[in-house]
Structure 1
Amino acid sequence: MHEVDYMKMEQAVTMILEAIGEDPAREGLIDTPKRVAKMYAEVFEGLHEDPRQYFETVFHENHDEVVLVKDIPFHSMCEHHLVPFFGHAHIAYIPRDGVVAGLSKLARAVETTARRPQLQERITSTVANAIMDMLNPVGVYVVVEAEHMCMTMRGIRKPGAKTMTTVARGIYEHDDIKRSEILSLIKM
Protein backbone atom coordinates (compact mmCIF):
# COMPACT_ATOMS: atom_id res chain seq x y z
CA MET A 1 0.00 0.00 0.00
CA HIS A 2 1.26 3.46 -0.89
CA GLU A 3 1.93 5.78 2.03
CA VAL A 4 0.57 9.32 1.75
CA ASP A 5 3.15 12.07 2.36
CA TYR A 6 1.07 14.51 4.42
CA MET A 7 4.05 16.76 5.17
CA LYS A 8 4.82 17.24 1.49
CA MET A 9 1.18 18.09 0.74
CA GLU A 10 1.08 20.59 3.63
CA GLN A 11 4.22 22.27 2.31
CA ALA A 12 2.74 22.44 -1.19
CA VAL A 13 -0.49 24.04 0.06
CA THR A 14 1.51 26.55 2.09
CA MET A 15 3.50 27.42 -1.03
CA ILE A 16 0.30 27.86 -3.07
CA LEU A 17 -1.12 30.21 -0.44
CA GLU A 18 2.09 32.23 -0.44
CA ALA A 19 2.21 32.23 -4.27
CA ILE A 20 -1.25 33.82 -4.54
CA GLY A 21 -0.26 36.51 -2.02
CA GLU A 22 -1.98 35.05 1.05
CA ASP A 23 -0.52 34.80 4.53
CA PRO A 24 -0.52 31.13 5.59
CA ALA A 25 -0.03 32.29 9.20
CA ARG A 26 -3.32 34.21 9.14
CA GLU A 27 -5.81 32.89 11.72
CA GLY A 28 -8.24 31.36 9.21
CA LEU A 29 -5.42 29.69 7.25
CA ILE A 30 -3.17 28.32 10.01
CA ASP A 31 -4.54 24.76 9.79
CA THR A 32 -5.59 24.90 6.13
CA PRO A 33 -2.54 23.00 4.82
CA LYS A 34 -3.28 20.14 7.28
CA ARG A 35 -6.97 20.10 6.35
CA VAL A 36 -6.23 20.11 2.62
CA ALA A 37 -3.68 17.29 2.99
CA LYS A 38 -6.18 15.19 4.92
CA MET A 39 -8.87 15.92 2.31
CA TYR A 40 -6.61 14.98 -0.62
CA ALA A 41 -5.64 11.71 1.08
CA GLU A 42 -9.35 10.86 1.35
CA VAL A 43 -10.37 12.10 -2.10
CA PHE A 44 -7.56 10.15 -3.79
CA GLU A 45 -7.77 6.97 -1.69
CA GLY A 46 -8.70 4.86 -4.75
CA LEU A 47 -5.45 5.69 -6.55
CA HIS A 48 -3.74 2.39 -5.76
CA GLU A 49 -6.82 0.15 -5.78
CA ASP A 50 -8.09 -2.06 -8.58
CA PRO A 51 -11.86 -1.98 -9.12
CA ARG A 52 -11.74 -5.58 -10.35
CA GLN A 53 -11.26 -6.66 -6.72
CA TYR A 54 -14.99 -6.16 -6.13
CA PHE A 55 -15.87 -8.84 -8.64
CA GLU A 56 -13.70 -11.61 -7.23
CA THR A 57 -16.70 -12.97 -5.32
CA VAL A 58 -19.61 -13.86 -7.58
CA PHE A 59 -22.92 -15.63 -7.21
CA HIS A 60 -24.62 -18.11 -9.49
CA GLU A 61 -28.23 -17.29 -10.13
CA ASN A 62 -30.59 -18.46 -12.83
CA HIS A 63 -30.79 -15.00 -14.38
CA ASP A 64 -29.91 -14.15 -17.95
CA GLU A 65 -31.59 -10.78 -18.41
CA VAL A 66 -30.40 -7.22 -17.75
CA VAL A 67 -29.06 -6.19 -14.36
CA LEU A 68 -29.08 -2.40 -14.07
CA VAL A 69 -27.94 -0.23 -11.19
CA LYS A 70 -28.59 3.40 -11.99
CA ASP A 71 -28.02 6.76 -10.35
CA ILE A 72 -24.84 5.73 -8.52
CA PRO A 73 -23.54 9.04 -7.15
CA PHE A 74 -19.81 9.74 -7.36
CA HIS A 75 -17.33 12.57 -7.16
CA SER A 76 -13.85 12.79 -8.58
CA MET A 77 -11.11 15.29 -9.32
CA CYS A 78 -10.27 16.41 -12.84
CA GLU A 79 -6.67 15.44 -13.48
CA HIS A 80 -6.16 18.53 -15.64
CA HIS A 81 -7.12 21.16 -13.04
CA LEU A 82 -7.50 19.24 -9.74
CA VAL A 83 -11.00 20.57 -9.25
CA PRO A 84 -14.03 18.36 -8.61
CA PHE A 85 -16.48 16.83 -10.98
CA PHE A 86 -19.47 14.89 -9.81
CA GLY A 87 -22.50 13.07 -11.09
CA HIS A 88 -24.07 9.66 -11.50
CA ALA A 89 -23.06 6.39 -13.09
CA HIS A 90 -25.44 3.83 -14.56
CA ILE A 91 -24.22 0.26 -15.06
CA ALA A 92 -26.02 -2.48 -16.96
CA TYR A 93 -24.86 -5.97 -17.75
CA ILE A 94 -26.33 -9.22 -18.98
CA PRO A 95 -24.99 -12.18 -16.99
CA ARG A 96 -23.46 -15.16 -18.77
CA ASP A 97 -24.23 -18.58 -17.29
CA GLY A 98 -25.95 -16.96 -14.31
CA VAL A 99 -22.77 -15.30 -12.95
CA VAL A 100 -23.78 -12.15 -11.05
CA ALA A 101 -22.02 -9.77 -8.68
CA GLY A 102 -23.41 -8.25 -5.52
CA LEU A 103 -25.18 -5.03 -6.47
CA SER A 104 -23.12 -2.93 -4.05
CA LYS A 105 -19.99 -4.10 -5.85
CA LEU A 106 -20.98 -2.10 -8.93
CA ALA A 107 -21.17 1.06 -6.81
CA ARG A 108 -17.87 0.21 -5.10
CA ALA A 109 -16.15 -0.16 -8.48
CA VAL A 110 -17.37 3.31 -9.48
CA GLU A 111 -16.25 4.80 -6.13
CA THR A 112 -12.76 3.28 -6.28
CA THR A 113 -12.27 4.31 -9.89
CA ALA A 114 -13.43 7.88 -9.22
CA ARG A 115 -11.21 8.42 -6.17
CA ARG A 116 -8.06 9.40 -8.05
CA PRO A 117 -7.01 12.22 -10.37
CA GLN A 118 -9.26 11.22 -13.22
CA LEU A 119 -11.03 11.78 -16.50
CA GLN A 120 -14.71 10.97 -16.87
CA GLU A 121 -14.01 8.96 -20.00
CA ARG A 122 -11.56 6.79 -18.06
CA ILE A 123 -14.03 6.14 -15.23
CA THR A 124 -16.54 4.91 -17.80
CA SER A 125 -14.16 2.55 -19.58
CA THR A 126 -12.38 1.32 -16.43
CA VAL A 127 -15.64 0.24 -14.81
CA ALA A 128 -16.89 -1.44 -18.00
CA ASN A 129 -13.58 -3.25 -18.52
CA ALA A 130 -13.45 -4.46 -14.90
CA ILE A 131 -16.91 -6.00 -15.22
CA MET A 132 -16.07 -7.60 -18.58
CA ASP A 133 -12.77 -8.98 -17.27
CA MET A 134 -14.15 -10.44 -14.08
CA LEU A 135 -17.75 -11.48 -14.83
CA ASN A 136 -17.45 -12.30 -18.54
CA PRO A 137 -21.03 -11.14 -19.15
CA VAL A 138 -22.85 -11.21 -22.47
CA GLY A 139 -22.51 -7.43 -22.47
CA VAL A 140 -21.86 -4.35 -20.35
CA TYR A 141 -23.12 -0.82 -20.87
CA VAL A 142 -21.89 2.01 -18.66
CA VAL A 143 -23.19 5.58 -18.79
CA VAL A 144 -21.61 8.35 -16.71
CA GLU A 145 -23.03 11.86 -16.51
CA ALA A 146 -21.25 14.59 -14.60
CA GLU A 147 -20.85 18.28 -14.01
CA HIS A 148 -17.26 19.50 -14.14
CA MET A 149 -16.19 22.39 -11.94
CA CYS A 150 -13.39 23.14 -14.41
CA MET A 151 -16.20 24.25 -16.76
CA THR A 152 -18.25 25.91 -14.01
CA MET A 153 -15.86 27.94 -11.89
CA ARG A 154 -13.16 28.74 -14.43
CA GLY A 155 -12.64 28.89 -18.18
CA ILE A 156 -15.96 28.97 -20.00
CA ARG A 157 -17.98 29.26 -16.72
CA LYS A 158 -21.09 27.32 -17.71
CA PRO A 159 -22.71 25.95 -14.54
CA GLY A 160 -25.17 23.14 -15.08
CA ALA A 161 -23.53 21.84 -18.26
CA LYS A 162 -23.40 18.05 -18.08
CA THR A 163 -21.02 15.70 -19.84
CA MET A 164 -22.19 12.19 -20.73
CA THR A 165 -19.88 9.33 -21.61
CA THR A 166 -20.81 5.79 -22.57
CA VAL A 167 -18.96 2.54 -23.03
CA ALA A 168 -20.51 -0.51 -24.67
CA ARG A 169 -18.93 -3.94 -24.46
CA GLY A 170 -20.07 -7.32 -25.75
CA ILE A 171 -23.57 -7.44 -27.20
CA TYR A 172 -24.11 -3.73 -26.53
CA GLU A 173 -21.39 -2.79 -29.02
CA HIS A 174 -23.49 -3.82 -32.01
CA ASP A 175 -27.07 -4.25 -30.82
CA ASP A 176 -28.86 -0.90 -31.10
CA ILE A 177 -32.08 -2.35 -29.66
CA LYS A 178 -30.31 -3.59 -26.51
CA ARG A 179 -28.60 -0.19 -26.08
CA SER A 180 -31.91 1.63 -26.54
CA GLU A 181 -33.50 -0.63 -23.91
CA ILE A 182 -30.85 0.39 -21.35
CA LEU A 183 -31.13 4.07 -22.17
CA SER A 184 -34.91 3.97 -21.75
CA LEU A 185 -34.55 2.18 -18.40
CA ILE A 186 -32.05 4.81 -17.22
CA LYS A 187 -34.51 7.60 -18.10
CA MET A 188 -37.33 6.00 -16.06
Structure 2
Amino acid sequence: MEAVFSDLIQELGEDVTREGLIDTPKRAAAAFRFLNSGYAQSLDNVLNNALFEADTEDMVIVKDIELYSLCEHHLLPFIGKCHVAYLPKGKVIGLSKVARIVEMYARRLQIQERLTKQIADAIQTALQPAGVAVVIEAKHLCMMMRGVEKQNSVMTTSSMLGLFRRQISTRSEFLGLINRK
Protein backbone atom coordinates (compact mmCIF):
# COMPACT_ATOMS: atom_id res chain seq x y z
CA MET A 1 0.00 0.00 0.00
CA GLU A 2 2.95 2.34 0.66
CA ALA A 3 4.08 1.88 -2.95
CA VAL A 4 0.61 2.77 -4.20
CA PHE A 5 0.59 5.99 -2.15
CA SER A 6 4.11 6.78 -3.37
CA ASP A 7 2.97 6.33 -6.99
CA LEU A 8 -0.12 8.44 -6.36
CA ILE A 9 1.94 11.31 -4.94
CA GLN A 10 4.31 11.11 -7.90
CA GLU A 11 1.37 11.12 -10.32
CA LEU A 12 0.31 14.43 -8.77
CA GLY A 13 3.68 15.82 -9.87
CA GLU A 14 5.29 15.82 -6.41
CA ASP A 15 8.74 14.65 -5.41
CA VAL A 16 8.25 11.88 -2.83
CA THR A 17 11.87 12.31 -1.73
CA ARG A 18 11.43 15.89 -0.53
CA GLU A 19 11.58 16.41 3.22
CA GLY A 20 7.85 16.81 3.90
CA LEU A 21 6.88 13.77 1.84
CA ILE A 22 9.56 11.18 2.69
CA ASP A 23 7.40 9.31 5.21
CA THR A 24 4.02 10.27 3.75
CA PRO A 25 3.42 6.97 1.87
CA LYS A 26 4.01 5.02 5.11
CA ARG A 27 1.78 7.36 7.17
CA ALA A 28 -0.95 7.40 4.50
CA ALA A 29 -0.97 3.60 4.31
CA ALA A 30 -1.26 3.33 8.10
CA ALA A 31 -4.06 5.90 8.14
CA PHE A 32 -5.93 4.14 5.32
CA ARG A 33 -5.65 0.79 7.12
CA PHE A 34 -7.03 2.39 10.31
CA LEU A 35 -9.87 4.15 8.47
CA ASN A 36 -10.89 0.79 7.01
CA SER A 37 -10.25 -1.39 10.08
CA GLY A 38 -13.89 -2.51 10.17
CA TYR A 39 -13.12 -5.17 7.58
CA ALA A 40 -11.05 -7.03 10.18
CA GLN A 41 -13.97 -7.18 12.63
CA SER A 42 -17.08 -9.32 12.91
CA LEU A 43 -20.28 -8.83 14.86
CA ASP A 44 -19.39 -11.72 17.18
CA ASN A 45 -16.01 -10.34 18.18
CA VAL A 46 -17.38 -6.80 18.59
CA LEU A 47 -20.18 -8.07 20.87
CA ASN A 48 -17.76 -10.22 22.88
CA ASN A 49 -20.70 -11.90 24.66
CA ALA A 50 -21.94 -8.57 26.12
CA LEU A 51 -25.61 -9.61 25.87
CA PHE A 52 -27.50 -9.52 29.14
CA GLU A 53 -30.86 -10.84 30.33
CA ALA A 54 -33.30 -8.01 31.09
CA ASP A 55 -37.02 -7.91 31.76
CA THR A 56 -37.54 -4.45 30.27
CA GLU A 57 -39.46 -3.86 27.06
CA ASP A 58 -38.97 -0.09 27.12
CA MET A 59 -37.11 1.69 24.35
CA VAL A 60 -33.32 1.87 24.65
CA ILE A 61 -31.72 4.77 22.75
CA VAL A 62 -28.07 5.63 22.23
CA LYS A 63 -27.90 8.94 20.41
CA ASP A 64 -25.23 11.23 18.99
CA ILE A 65 -22.71 8.45 18.34
CA GLU A 66 -19.94 10.13 16.32
CA LEU A 67 -19.06 8.40 13.10
CA TYR A 68 -16.39 8.82 10.47
CA SER A 69 -16.43 6.86 7.26
CA LEU A 70 -15.06 6.95 3.73
CA CYS A 71 -17.34 7.39 0.73
CA GLU A 72 -16.74 4.43 -1.56
CA HIS A 73 -17.19 6.61 -4.65
CA HIS A 74 -14.46 9.21 -4.01
CA LEU A 75 -12.57 7.86 -0.96
CA LEU A 76 -13.39 11.11 0.85
CA PRO A 77 -14.72 11.21 4.42
CA PHE A 78 -18.25 11.63 5.57
CA ILE A 79 -18.69 12.68 9.16
CA GLY A 80 -21.76 12.70 11.33
CA LYS A 81 -23.74 11.17 14.12
CA CYS A 82 -25.79 8.05 14.50
CA HIS A 83 -28.83 7.45 16.70
CA VAL A 84 -29.75 3.85 17.53
CA ALA A 85 -32.80 2.52 19.37
CA TYR A 86 -34.19 -0.91 20.07
CA LEU A 87 -37.11 -2.45 21.94
CA PRO A 88 -35.72 -5.32 24.06
CA LYS A 89 -37.33 -8.74 24.21
CA GLY A 90 -35.49 -10.39 27.10
CA LYS A 91 -31.99 -9.18 26.24
CA VAL A 92 -30.05 -5.92 26.22
CA ILE A 93 -26.61 -5.18 24.85
CA GLY A 94 -23.68 -3.53 26.61
CA LEU A 95 -23.85 0.22 26.00
CA SER A 96 -20.42 0.51 24.40
CA LYS A 97 -21.27 -2.33 22.02
CA VAL A 98 -23.82 -0.16 20.22
CA ALA A 99 -21.09 2.40 19.47
CA ARG A 100 -18.69 -0.39 18.51
CA ILE A 101 -21.19 -1.79 16.00
CA VAL A 102 -21.53 1.67 14.45
CA GLU A 103 -17.74 1.97 14.33
CA MET A 104 -17.22 -1.48 12.77
CA TYR A 105 -19.44 -0.70 9.79
CA ALA A 106 -18.37 2.95 9.49
CA ARG A 107 -14.72 1.87 9.22
CA ARG A 108 -15.33 0.36 5.78
CA LEU A 109 -15.75 1.93 2.36
CA GLN A 110 -19.39 2.93 2.49
CA ILE A 111 -22.43 4.71 1.28
CA GLN A 112 -24.54 6.15 4.07
CA GLU A 113 -27.68 4.30 3.02
CA ARG A 114 -26.00 0.88 3.35
CA LEU A 115 -24.23 1.85 6.58
CA THR A 116 -27.57 2.73 8.19
CA LYS A 117 -29.10 -0.62 7.20
CA GLN A 118 -26.05 -2.64 8.26
CA ILE A 119 -26.18 -1.16 11.77
CA ALA A 120 -29.91 -1.87 12.10
CA ASP A 121 -29.51 -5.42 10.79
CA ALA A 122 -26.62 -6.10 13.20
CA ILE A 123 -28.64 -4.97 16.24
CA GLN A 124 -31.57 -7.08 14.99
CA THR A 125 -29.32 -10.12 14.55
CA ALA A 126 -27.64 -9.71 17.95
CA LEU A 127 -30.75 -9.15 20.08
CA GLN A 128 -33.83 -10.23 18.14
CA PRO A 129 -35.66 -7.24 19.67
CA ALA A 130 -39.24 -6.16 18.94
CA GLY A 131 -37.82 -3.36 16.81
CA VAL A 132 -34.71 -1.44 15.79
CA ALA A 133 -34.36 2.14 14.57
CA VAL A 134 -31.23 3.81 13.19
CA VAL A 135 -30.88 7.37 11.95
CA ILE A 136 -27.64 8.81 10.57
CA GLU A 137 -27.03 12.49 9.85
CA ALA A 138 -23.77 13.21 8.03
CA LYS A 139 -21.84 15.75 6.02
CA HIS A 140 -20.06 14.37 2.97
CA LEU A 141 -16.75 15.92 1.97
CA CYS A 142 -17.23 14.59 -1.56
CA MET A 143 -20.12 17.04 -1.83
CA MET A 144 -18.46 19.82 0.15
CA MET A 145 -14.94 19.87 -1.35
CA ARG A 146 -15.68 18.96 -4.97
CA GLY A 147 -18.61 18.73 -7.35
CA VAL A 148 -21.39 21.06 -6.23
CA GLU A 149 -19.35 22.34 -3.24
CA LYS A 150 -22.32 22.71 -0.88
CA GLN A 151 -20.84 23.33 2.57
CA ASN A 152 -23.92 23.06 4.77
CA SER A 153 -25.75 20.10 3.29
CA VAL A 154 -26.53 17.20 5.60
CA MET A 155 -27.73 13.80 4.47
CA THR A 156 -30.16 11.96 6.75
CA THR A 157 -30.91 8.26 6.38
CA SER A 158 -33.01 5.91 8.47
CA SER A 159 -33.68 2.23 8.84
CA MET A 160 -36.73 1.11 10.82
CA LEU A 161 -37.33 -2.56 11.64
CA GLY A 162 -40.11 -4.35 13.51
CA LEU A 163 -42.37 -2.12 15.63
CA PHE A 164 -40.50 1.02 14.52
CA ARG A 165 -41.65 0.28 10.97
CA ARG A 166 -45.15 -0.96 11.80
CA GLN A 167 -46.21 1.47 14.54
CA ILE A 168 -46.17 5.17 13.78
CA SER A 169 -46.42 5.98 17.52
CA THR A 170 -43.23 4.02 18.29
CA ARG A 171 -41.39 5.63 15.38
CA SER A 172 -42.65 9.08 16.41
CA GLU A 173 -41.54 8.57 20.02
CA PHE A 174 -38.03 7.64 18.82
CA LEU A 175 -37.78 10.58 16.42
CA GLY A 176 -39.04 12.97 19.09
CA LEU A 177 -36.51 11.72 21.65
CA ILE A 178 -33.50 11.97 19.32
CA ASN A 179 -34.46 15.51 18.34
CA ARG A 180 -34.66 16.77 21.93
CA LYS A 181 -31.78 18.99 22.96
Q: Which residue number in structure 1 is paired with residue 144 of structure 2? A: 152
User: Following the alignment from structure 1 to structure 2, what is the Cα–Cα distance between the partners of residues 72 and 51?
Assistant: 18
Q: Which moved more, 1:66-75 or 1:26-35?
A: 26-35
User: Following the alignment from structure 1 to structure 2, what is the Cα–Cα distance between the partners of residues 13 and 54?
Assistant: 30
Q: TM-score, normalised by structure 2?
A: 0.95
1:68 to 57, 61, 84: 61
1:100 to 70, 86, 92: 92
Partner SS, residue 28 of structure 2: helix
Report whether the alignment pairs 1:59 with 2:52.
yes
Identity within the alignment, %: 45
Q: Which residue number in structure 1 is paired with residue 167 of structure 2? A: 175
User: Following the alignment from structure 1 to structure 2, what is the Cα–Cα distance between the partners of residues 23 and 62?
Assistant: 63
Q: Which residue number in structure 1 is paired with residue 77 of structure 2? A: 84
User: Following the alignment from structure 2 to structure 1, what is the Cα–Cα distance between the partners of residues 150 and 41?
Assistant: 33
Q: TM-score, normalised by structure 1?
A: 0.91
User: Following the alignment from structure 1 to structure 2, what is the Cα–Cα distance between the partners of residues 78 and 47?
Assistant: 15
Asked if structure 1 preserves the Cα contact closer than 8 Å seen for 2:50 and 2:97, the reply is: no
**RMSD in angstroms over aligned alpha carbons?**
1.1
Q: Per-residue CA shift, 1:53-89, capped at 9, x if unaligned? A: 4444311122111000000001011111111111000
Asked if structure 2 preserves the Cα contact closer than 8 Å seen for 1:52 and 1:109, the reply is: no
* Structure 1, unaligned runs of 5 or more: 1-8
Letter in 2 for 1:63: T
Residues 81 and 44 of structure 1: is their aligned pair in 2 closer, same or farther, counting only changes over 3 Å?
Answer: same
* Structure 2, unaligned runs of 5 or more: none
Tell me how far 1:48 sits from its aligned partner.
2.8
Tell me how far 1:52 sits from its aligned partner.
4.9
